[in-house]
Amino acid sequence: MARKLIGSILHGAYGDLYEQAICLKHYAANHPEVELRLFAATPTRLESFRALDLSFAAGFDLWTEIEKHPDIERFFQFHVQDLELDRDVLSKLPAGVLAKFDLAHHYLPWIYLRENNLVPTPDRYQLPLSESGSRELPNIALKNGISDEIWRKPTINFLWRYRKPGLGTISNFGQKSQEELVRTYSTMFQRIASEYDCHILICGMNILTTDSNRELTDDKYPAFGLDLPVGRATYLKGLSWPLELEIASRATICCGHASGFTEGLWLKRGRDMVLMDAPPHYLAKVLYRQMPLFDLDRPLNLASAFLNRSIDVYRRRIESILEKSTSTVYHS
């Protein structure tokens, strides 16, 4: 019997694409009668996610190639009612192709991940690097100033994701000021780096946004950074979301704000992570969706995330993990 050809468009923020791809890999593995063909909503996302092994699908192309595949029977589409997806892709498709989308059902990756026990993600559904991604990884590490020496001592990956008023799907209500966070995080990491002789990898900060990198970085990163001693910190430059996720995942401990990047790290690692200053709206969504991200499906952990928003609490958690962990050596 011929396999049914099913399409799906990867779209949204980088973290959204990552979660969608994990869901689709699971779907393909558990529906042997189906052959998947993936498309990207933008050229930037297409180029970036070619660093991942998506060979569970028959192909991965830009959405403009959809009409070249009339044999696609239907689309299994996440976030089908997303306004950007409609504006950038769906509204431009001919009626015959659009009829292959189920526009009434708004499938959510979070629900699929939870219902299929994909948080954290079992090894067989992980997204390893593609051959081209593996070749490019050392170059991205070099461009970020990451040498072998860094991995010979404990490493901490920190992700900064400050929510701006009125932007995105997460409210900034209850978020501390940028100035307070920069000051307290700087003091905390100065102390930890000194006491544990560790190196800090910082994502999402100290990046100058220009016309050449605005789409690649989603225009989310501030130009300022933390106040840390020279030689103790390395700022990742936002050159490749999948490859910098791979680099960050090799740190002894990962910590930082709630974002698609930290969610991706939890899906990939499932351990040794500290969620810091998560907005109440984000925690409420996790509670509503019953998502086991960051072990927040445990009532005490969720209550602590709401109530113990203290730099001392975060420091003690980070130090506890450092004391029982050793760094993972990274071979470039």
Q: Give the CATH fold of the 136-324 domain.
A: Rossmann fold (3.40.50)
Query: What pTM, to 2 d.p., does this model score?
Result: 0.95
pLDDT confidence of residue 184: 98
- Residues 117, 30: contact at Cβ < 8 Å? no
Task: Give the residue extent of every domain in the chain.
Answer: 4-125, 136-324
| Close Cβ partners of 8 (under 8 Å, ≥ 6 residues apart) | 20, 24, 36, 37, 38, 39, 75, 76, 77, 78
Q: Domain 4-125: which CATH class?
A: alpha beta
Q: What is the pLDDT of residues 150-160, one digit of tens each?
A: 999 999 999 99
H-helix or E-strand containing 36? strand 34-40
The model's pLDDT over 230-285, given as tens digits with 9 standing for 90+, comes to 899 999 999 999 999 999 999 999 999 999 999 999 999 999 999 999 999 999 99
Structure tokens at 176: 């501390």
Beta strand 155-159 with 199-203 is: parallel
- Note the pLDDT of residue 327: 40
CA dihedral 19, 22, 26, 29 (to 10 degrees): 150
